[in-house]
DNA sequence: ATAAATTAAATCGTGCACGATTTAATTGCT
DNA sequence: AGCAATTAAATCGTGCACGATTTAATTTAT
């Protein structure tokens, strides 16, 4: 044992390699996700949106009207998260919520004229942020490819343990 | 215009490519991060930990004692998130919090014997989850490499807009 | 020496996430 | 028809995240 004066020597010395933050895949994933959300914020603030609200709107812009569950499948969120989020979007006049008369259990979410109009405001956001983050196109595509390949296995694993 | 009966035809038709969820890098990042956290939960539940608490403990296992700010730099979290989290870890008897007598502004976080002992319980978690998610080693390494390369640019961009 | 600037935590308010439960509507089964 | 099982949202409770502000201690520049 070297005559180190570092009081944490004993702790660091016995730290198993696989538990070091630097060796974990989960941490950069967690950090990158939060950083990207923070990068979106200034753009979304101007529109009065949060990042999860923006995700839900992107889903609706693509396929509205949708039920809460259908949005949930696409966003991987369930009603405990979506119901209050959708109520906030409704309060902002961006979506409307109405029970499906054919099946009263369902709530159908539609875009209002205002909600649809917001799409135009958002068109430039991805490109702006892409440049702001100084992303390399090839690396970004490769990253997306790997993440898309990872997701099905993760979903299966999460279901399996539930 | 085709004689589609899809009532959403008009909406989907005009959806700009760059706003489709499928074409965004941010969404798989957001989804993967949440899925990984959910995958950790069953393992961490047994120990009474949340994923962010586990991250903070990994940091402490590597370099305790640390101030709140030092933990924050490593975890990319600040006192508004860390203070309550650390109080919960303290309430569980895993860490101790004490003002630095040399600089009363600082709060030094140390591991208790119990907090240090928990490390042993966690050694197998990364390997277990890696297998549970059916991760391919090469892809995982490549993914980690890309994410690690992405983080500095994201951090710079987030600072720049603040 | 002291006032201004800086730094470190804590506090506050809002909005996710998500496990668990509840409520209500529909479907399936006899 | 009628009752059990299923499904869809909503509700509840806890714990992050994070912008903004506050409090208090230290540093700096007069």
Q: Which runs of consecutive H residues, i.e. helices, occur in B46-78?
A: 51-63, 68-75
Mean pLDDT of A74-85: 98
Structure tokens at B44: 């961490």
A19 domain residue, yes or no: no
Q: Is B14 helix (H, G, I), strand (E, B) or coil?
A: coil
B100 domain residue, yes or no: yes
Domain count, chain B: 1
Cβ contact, residue pair B62, A12, below 8 Å: yes
Residues A117 and A133 in one domain: no
B78 domain residue, yes or no: yes
A22 domain residue, yes or no: no
Full domain range(s) for residue A66: 45-121
Q: Which of A33, A42, A61 sits opposite B30 (nearest CB)?
A: A33
pLDDT above 90 coverage of chain B, percent: 79
Mean pLDDT of A84-98: 98
Q: What is the pLDDT of residue B12?
A: 58
Q: What is the pLDDT of residue B9?
A: 52
Long-range CB contact pairs, A129-133, < 8 A, 24+: A129/A36, A129/A39, A129/A40, A129/A43, A129/B26, A129/B157, A132/A39, A132/B157, A132/B160, A132/B161, A133/A36, A133/A39, A133/B150, A133/B153, A133/B154, A133/B157
B76 domain residue, yes or no: yes
B8 domain residue, yes or no: no
Structure tokens at A79: 């009603």
Sheet holding A66-67, edge to edge: A66-67, A103-111, A95-100
Q: What is the pLDDT of residue A41?
A: 96
Q: Which nucleotide is nearest to A67 (CA to C1')?
A: D8
Residues A73 and A139 in one domain: no
Q: What is the pLDDT of residue A4?
A: 47
Mean pLDDT of A136-146: 93
CA of A7 to C1' of D3 (A): 70
Strand D atom within 7 Å of A92 CB: no
Residues A90 and A56 in one domain: yes
CA of A133 to C1' of D26 (A): 36
A63 domain residue, yes or no: yes
Kindly indicate the confidence band of residue A15, based on its pLDDT and cuts at 50, 70 and 90: confident
pLDDT in tens, B53-112: 999 999 999 999 999 999 999 999 999 999 999 999 999 999 999 999 999 999 999 999
Residues A113 and A128 in one domain: no
A101 domain residue, yes or no: yes
Residues with Cβ within 8 Å of A113's Cβ and at least 6 positions away in sequence, in order, are: none
Check CB contact of A10 with chain B, cutoff 8 Å: no
Please give the Cα distance from A51 to B79 (Å, whole number). Answer: 22
Residues A108 and A133 in one domain: no
CA of A88 to C1' of C15 (A): 10
Kindly indicate the confidence band of residue B124, based on its pLDDT and cuts at 50, 70 and 90: very high
Residues A114 and A128 in one domain: no
| CATH number of the structural domain spanning residue A108 | 1.10.10.10
């Amino acid at each position: 044992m070297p005559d180190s004066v570092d009081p944490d020597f004993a702790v660091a010395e016995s730290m198993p390699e696989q538990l070091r933050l630097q060796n974990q895949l989960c941490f950069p994933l967690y950090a990158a996700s939060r950083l990207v959300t923070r990068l979106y914020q200034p753009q979304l603030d101007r529109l009065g949106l949060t990042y999860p609200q923006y995700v839900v709107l992107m889903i609706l812009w693509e396929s509205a009207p949708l039920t809460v569950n259908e949005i949930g499948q696409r966003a991987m969120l369930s009603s405990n998260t979506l119901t209050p989020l959708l109520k906030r979007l409704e309060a902002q006049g961006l979506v409307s919520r109405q029970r499906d008369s054919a099946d009263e259990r369902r709530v159908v979410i539609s875009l209002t004229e205002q909600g649809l109009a917001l799409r135009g405001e958002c068109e430039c956001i991805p490109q702006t942020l892409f440049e702001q983050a100084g992303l390399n196109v090839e690396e970004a595509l490769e990253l997306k490819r790997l993440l898309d390949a990872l997701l099905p296995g993760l979903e299966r694993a999460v279901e399996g343990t539930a």
